[in-house]
Amino acid sequence: MNGFSHPKGYYPLFSAFMLERAGYYGIRTLLMIFMIKVLTLDPVKANDIHSWFILSLYFTPFLFGYVADSMVGIKRSAVISCAVIALGTVLISMSSVFVQPAWLYTGLIVIAVAQGFLRPSLYTMVGGLYKDKNDARRDSGFTLILIAVNIGAFFAPVICGYLGERVSWSAGFLMAGIFCLSAMPLLAKAKDFTYPKRAKLTSAEEKGLLAILVLGLFALLAWSAVTSYSDFISYIFVNSSGYAMEKLQFWMPVSIMLAGVLLAPLFAWLWVWLDKKGRNISTIGKLIFGFITVSLSFLVFYLVLLIYQRTGFMSIWMLVLASVISSMAEFFIVPIAMSCVTKLSPAKISALVIGTWLMLAYPVRKLVIILMPEYGRMNELWLFAIPVLICVVCVAILFFAAKPIRRWMGNVQ
């Protein structure tokens, strides 16, 4: 057993993830430009529509995860949703033919509803491949999924963007739909997720849900710190050092993207290797490492800024290093948290629990934004120190609360 040897059916699901994410990011790439250039919507209104669409994607998995569990079925929800998303891209493309926003609104609503069924179902199907809840390959498998997400996010804007700008807007959106349709045969061949008939939750399952709530909130807090502070850090660099925004917008995303693709196999292998050596790190331990890594990335970012202010030299390589460390934190947080959710979720409500976790990402991210210090109101050292202090507090809480959380988790680690 190694980090790349997974249960039968894993790699078709991996490919389906990649194609589905390519479709999603293909739509996102074209949406704002399309609304402003083709439908001639006011930029403020276009931004509002875009924001509402993104917001809906946080809540629809919660709303329709229950339906996927209890009525439609996990595998059937995943397969049908891909076709419905493709239908949504057809409706959006019709708005470019008739230049009527109504087609766009209908298409976005259809896609948002389909995503509500698809996302929790996909994660449930991946988790359902691992019969042993303590199988180290589960963490490894969810880590490798990040490669699929990054590949889809990288190629879709290039392909759909080119078709939309150079051929036709309809071609760009339809290509995004084709990506989703291509995932259907892969999902159709995947092993169906089986779950017991509905029954009252056992005491152990209730405690597992409590552990999911606590660990999930901490994971979302760390994840939000990484994603929300990235734009804030760029803003600090631009205003404090005069460093060109276009350089930051190039180096930081590119380094994070490359780190996500290149380091994921290393972490996927590491979790299984440590388990074979009897030195596996618990879920709580991995989250603690995640917070420590987030803190380290902020310290390196501050060091880059400090060196620039004192010498006038902006080290691109240190900037890349800080971005890579920030990306590494993601491997201790996102796949581990999702793996933990699938371990502890009662099988009969797995999609609902995953949908709830995805929904909670929005208020937690808003909380992190509220906690952000206001630029210009305090010393720059504190701008970087505050997120580090928040991470230190979270590490301390997790450390001292580890015993009751492990008790809630039972034999699952």
Would you kindly state where each structural domain of the chain is located, as residue ranges? Answer: 10-188, 203-407
Our measurement of the distance from residue 33's CA atom to the centroid of its chain's CA atoms, rounded to an integer in Å, reads 24
C-alpha span between 26 and 157 (Å, rounded): 5
For the structural domain made of 203-407, what CATH number should be given? 1.20.1250.20
pLDDT tens sequence across 61-75:
999 998 988 888 899
Q: Is the pLDDT of residue 268 over 70?
A: yes
C-alpha span between 125 and 406 (Å, rounded): 25
Q: Give the pLDDT confidence score for residue 196 in this predicted structure.
A: 59
Instruction: Pick 27 or 375 by higher pLDDT.
Output: 27
pLDDT band at 322 (very low <50, low <70, confident <90, very high): confident
Q: Taking a C-beta distance cutoff of 8 angstroms, is the pair 191, 9 a contact? A: yes
pLDDT band at 384 (very low <50, low <70, confident <90, very high): confident
Q: Is the pLDDT of residue 82 over 90?
A: yes
C-alpha span between 36 and 31 (Å, rounded): 9
Instruction: Tell me which of 3.50.50.60, 3.30.200.20, 1.20.1250.20, 1.25.40.10 is the CATH number of domain 10-188.
Output: 1.20.1250.20
Instruction: Pick 367 or 354 by higher pLDDT.
Output: 354
Q: Give the pLDDT confidence score for residue 156 in this predicted structure.
A: 87
Q: Is the pLDDT of residue 303 over 90?
A: no
Question: Would the CA dihedral through 142, 145, 146, 147 be positive or negative?
Answer: positive
Q: Give the pLDDT confidence score for residue 228 in this predicted structure.
A: 72
C-alpha span between 18 and 69 (Å, rounded): 23
SS (H, E, C) the chain: CCCCCCCCCHHHHHHHHHHHHHHHHHHHHHHHHHHHHCCCCCHHHHHHHHHHHHHHHHHHHHHHHHHHHHHHCHHHHHHHHHHHHHHHHHHHHHHHHHCCHHHHHHHHHHHHHHHHHHHHHHHHHHHCCCCCCCCCHHHHHHHHHHHHHHHHHHHHHHHHHHHHHHHCHHHHHHHHHHHHHHHHHHHHHCCCCCCCCCCCCCHHHHHHHHHHHHHHHHHHHHHHHHHHHHHHHHHHHHHHHCCCHHHHHHHHHHHHHHHHHHHHHHHHHHHHHHHHCCCCCCHHHHHHHHHHHHHHHHHHHHHHHHHHHHHCCCCHHHHHHHHHHHHHHHHHHHHHHHHHHHHHCCHHHHHHHHHHHHHHHHHHHHHHHHHCCCCCCCCHHHHHHHHHHHHHHHHHHHHHCHHHHHHHHCCCC
pLDDT band at 47 (very low <50, low <70, confident <90, very high): very high
pLDDT band at 15 (very low <50, low <70, confident <90, very high): very high
pLDDT tens sequence across 203-262:
888 888 999 999 888 888 888 877 776 666 766 766 666 555 556 656 666 777 777 778
Q: Is the pLDDT of residue 264 over 70?
A: yes
Average pLDDT over residues 5-19: 91
Instruction: Pick 406 or 308 by higher pLDDT.
Output: 406
Q: Give the pLDDT confidence score for residue 389 in this predicted structure.
A: 87
C-alpha span between 379 and 117 (Å, rounded): 46
Mean pLDDT for the chain? Answer: 86
**Residue 233 half-sphere exposure, CB side, CA atoms within 13 Å?**
27
Q: What is the C-alpha R_g of the chain?
A: 22
Q: Taking a C-beta distance cutoff of 8 angstroms, is the pair 390, 225 a contact? A: yes
Q: Give the pLDDT confidence score for residue 145 in this predicted structure.
A: 92
pLDDT tens sequence across 140-163:
999 999 889 888 888 888 899 999
Q: Give the pLDDT confidence score for residue 250 in this predicted structure.
A: 65
Q: How far is residue 264 from each of residues 3, 30, 62, 139, 286, measured CA to CA in Å? A: 10, 28, 28, 11, 15
Average pLDDT over residues 77-89: 95
pLDDT tens sequence across 158-202:
899 999 988 999 999 999 999 999 999 999 888 776 665 566 788
Tell me, yes or no, if the two domains 10-188 and 203-407 fold the same way.
yes
Q: Give the pLDDT confidence score for residue 92 in this predicted structure.
A: 94
Q: Give the pLDDT confidence score for residue 244 in this predicted structure.
A: 56
